[in-house]
Amino acid sequence: METFDPAELPELLKLYYRRLFPYAQYYRWLNYGGVTKNYFQHREFSFTLKDDIYIRYQSFNNQSDLEKEMQKMNPYKIDIGAVYSHRPNQHNTVKLGAFQAQEKELVFDIDMTDYDDVRRCCSSADICSKCWTLMTMAIRIIDRALKEDFGFKHRLWVYSGRRGVHCWVCDESVRKLSSAVRSGIVEYLSLVKGGQDVKKKVHLSEKIHPFVRKSINIIKKYFEDYALVDQDILENKESWDKILALVPETIHEKLQQNFQKHHNSLQRWEYLKKTISSQDNTKNDKCGPWLEWEIMLQYCFPRLDINVSKGINHLLKSPFSVHPKTGRISVPIDVQKVDQFDPFTVPTISSICRELDTISTNEGKRNEAESDIKHRTRDYKKTSLAPYIKVFEQFLENLDKSRKGELLKKSDLQKDF
């Protein structure tokens, strides 16, 4: 596995921001075709510098201004905030109360630590291939709902660089949504509720909403391998007691006795399902088929950080930022190939800088007259960052197409009058 030495970070970042960061694509994204005047100029960025120095309300005139500042400041982390009524870097000069966040992408933040009560392989900041399936399921469930239930077209999924994923929904209409509407969307997408003290976090009724049904269908594809084999959620008494806490007490005794007769989680799960379905629902209204689904949802359903999505002025880590602890780049995820995405093969800043060194050495001394820009477009294409930038470019392509489509529609409408 790629070793990363945090002590080398300042030097590596210099090289990364000089030769590898995809400024052109990045600006093309946040400028949104330049349709709205000053859209990019009114966007807030925040930088975290070495030794945790945090600077908010950065803003830039254009791509070259952004490049110069990033190369000068060498940020350890970049966050993106809202588009404001005024330039964020001049917020101190604006009359009190006039400086307001006006627009931002709808964002989602899913962090593995929020699953610590249901994953048995790792805890806190650690992840492994056994629990990464939680992120795969989360992306599939949330992405399907955003696309099919809400009709949102432009969704960019990004690996956080360590233990989670972020989603940026970038449709023009979505960027204008109020905080209240954003809260409503997150509420719709949330099924697991209650803090550490709450044992049973999912409650379904007999009427199952289509969103829940579709989410369960996605979980079913992964449940056996993920929950029963990899996580082994019914392995021993300690682990099955957690599941018994989610079912009515009337069947506890029966399950306790019979779980001991079975040899593994797969067999115990089958027995649990059989026991639930054999209950007389007329006498025991708590024992419908939804009981099995409640357990599946509690163990597998996405857990969203509601506050991140709700607030328009909330900042979120930028794509292509570097994680200072792991050295991994926050790369876009191809949703079409989400099952193949492996966080452990994501390039680290040390690996791509080393690839760059190899290229430079092999090519010998470059002609100094060639522009830096020309180098850079070639540079990242020769490193393992290339396929991820391609995913980003495809996303931008779709944004452009849809913008052109909207403009055509508008001009056609005007012709009709």
User: Which contiguous run of DSSP H or E holds residue 361?
Assistant: helix 349-363
Residue 111 in 3-state DSSP?
Answer: strand
User: Cα–Cα distance between 108 and 103 in angstroms, integer?
Assistant: 16
Tell me the torsion sign for CA atoms 86, 89, 90, 92.
positive
- C-alpha distance across the termini of the chain, in Å: 64
Contact by Cβ (8 Å): 67, 94: no
Contact by Cβ (8 Å): 85, 99: yes
CA dist 120 → 123, 163, 194, 341 (Å): 8, 15, 20, 21
Half-sphere exposure of 404 (CA within 13 A, CB side): 6
Q: Token digits for 237? A: 């008494």
Provide the annotated active-site residues: 44, 109, 111
196 CB-near residues (< 8 Å, 6+ apart)? 117
Tell me the torsion sign for CA atoms 324, 329, 334, 340.
negative
**DSSP characters over 229-270:** IIS-TTSSHHHHHHHHTTS-GGGHHHHHHHHHHS-SHHHHHH
**DSSP characters over 280-308:** -TTT-TT-STHHHHHHHHHHHS--B-HHH
